[in-house]
Amino acid sequence: MDFHDSPQETAFRAEVRDFLRRELPQRGGIDPYAGFGGADFYLQFMDKLAARGWVAPAWPKEYGGAGLSVVQQFIFNQEMATARAPRPSPIAVGFAGPTLIVHGTEDQKQKYLSEILSGRVHWCQGYSEPGAGSDLASLQTRAVHDGDDYVVNGQKIWTSLGHLAKWMILLARTDPDAPKHRGISYFVLDMKSPGVTVRPLVNMAGTHEFNEVFFEDVRVPRENLIGEENRGWYLAQTTLSFERSNIGSAVGQQQIVEDLIRVAKDPSTAGMRMDGINHAVRTELVDRYVETEVATMMSYRIVTMQARGLIPSQEASAAKLFSTELNQRIYRTAMKVLGPYGQVLGRSPAHALLKGQVAYMYLRSVANTIEGGTSEIQRNIVATRGLGLPRN
């Protein structure tokens, strides 16, 4: 791995840093969780990213992206994460947009891509179902061809931001007699269509991110079919050569550990944290920091492979597995550092350090090893593709 930027990469990193210094408010003190001013600031910041093509830095320039190289994407995401900058909807930019670029018609690209590039429109992902999570190809939501439309009936679950989304990328079964990985088609569905019901799922941290979505005789125009009928599974596997190194997660984890170290050392917080940070907790903080360095090195390995034209498979699974399990360890350590005050939810500075984010993330991190492919799935990939072990 080459840890040094080329002259061109050094210049690009300086450009991104200069942009972030100008456009993001400076945060003071040990509390980085005060936010940037709410929805209005977010929209203004998206406009500034859009003007540079940085809403979708990995997309080709001809489709409104920045056309950045793999290493430039890595640098961009690293600097954005270091600045804790707001980001656009990942499903729109990372899943829907790339799939449309590869498989969509020109009319579909004209209709959807400009909205995504504005950074102002949320999309959601209609993949998982109550009986089809890790085994996604077992999905049973049906789309029946009827004239110029498809009629959709079924249910999706764990639909992140479904209550905010304008569009859904939907996988539905169009040929029930085909083998399960075939007979699935890929659609764009208008979330305001008659027959779509979104029901909130409130997680144990008390927040509403996920939803159940029900479809009852929902009509989807044939023009919203992406690619060929019954080839949706293969569209769902579409990947572009865009940055997937997970560097943003690694940077964020290191920042959290650094925040905890500052809290532990700050005399002004002594009355709001564990009385006397004992040797065992100090050791845990050191372990967590070392582990964030390991996560960073895994990200460098992945981006190095991509820059050489290789496709990380087991490497990406190993990084996802390590990162999500590390997240849980970090917040277990955080609860020990903060003691009883680590259990306070909410943003009142009189009652919670770091705006109550430790309590929230301690609860929220349970989902990290489930969403995006469970730890068991990642271990299977590492075992079979990486170590060559038999499937059974």
pLDDT digits (tens, 9 = 90+) for 105-132: 999 999 999 999 988 899 999 999 999 9
Give residue 40's identity as a one-letter amino acid code: D
Nearest alpha carbon to residue 367 among 319, 320, 324: 324
Pairing of strands 142-146, 196-202: unpaired
Least confident of 66-75, 139-148, 218-227, 235-244: 235-244
With a cut of 50, say whether residue 168 has pLDDT above it. Answer: yes
CATH class (in words) of the domain with range 123-236: mainly beta
- High-pLDDT (> 70) share of the chain, %: 90
Q: What average pLDDT does the segment 371-379 reach?
A: 89
Domain borders along the chain are 7-87, 123-236, 247-386
Q: State mean pLDDT over 173-193.
A: 96
Phi, psi of 237 (to 5 degrees): -90, 0
Going by pLDDT thresholds of 50, 70 and 90, the confidence category of residue 281 is confident
For residue 217, name the pLDDT band (cuts at 50, 70, 90). very high
Res 242 pLDDT > 60: no
pLDDT for 38 equals 65
Report d(CA 19, CA 21) in Å as an integer. 6
- The CATH class of 7-87 is mainly alpha
- Any residues with CB less than 8 A from the CB of 282 and at least 6 apart, and which? 264
| Statement: residue 41 has pLDDT above 60 | yes
Q: Which residues carry out catalysis? A: 243
Q: What is the pLDDT of residue 34?
A: 46
* Res 25: pLDDT: 77
- Which of 62-76, 249-263, 268-282, 328-342 is predicted with the least confidence, judged by mean pLDDT? 268-282
Cα separation, 54 vs 40, in Å, equals 19
Residue 78: count other Cβ atoms within 10 Å of its Cβ: 21
221 alpha-carbon distance from chain centroid? 29
**Least confident span in 185-194, 240-249, 370-379, 381-390:** 240-249
- Give the separation between CA 136 and CA 70, rounded to whole angstroms: 29
Mean pLDDT of 14-28: 86
pTM, two decimals, is: 0.86
| Helices 279-307/70-82 angle, 10° precision | 150
Q: Would the pLDDT of 153 be above 90?
A: yes
CATH number of the 247-386 domain: 1.20.140.10
Q: Look at residue 36 in the predicted model and tell me its pLDDT.
A: 52
Residue whose token pair is 């075992």: 383
Q: What is the pLDDT of residues 57-89, one digit of tens each?
A: 999 999 999 999 999 999 999 999 999 898 888
Residue 334 has pLDDT above 50, yes or no: yes
Q: Is the torsion defined by CA of 352, 256, 44, 119 positive or negative?
A: negative
Rounded to an integer, what distance in angstroms lies between the CA atom of residue 40 and that of residue 293? 35
- Give the residue carrying structure tokens 């087991």: 314
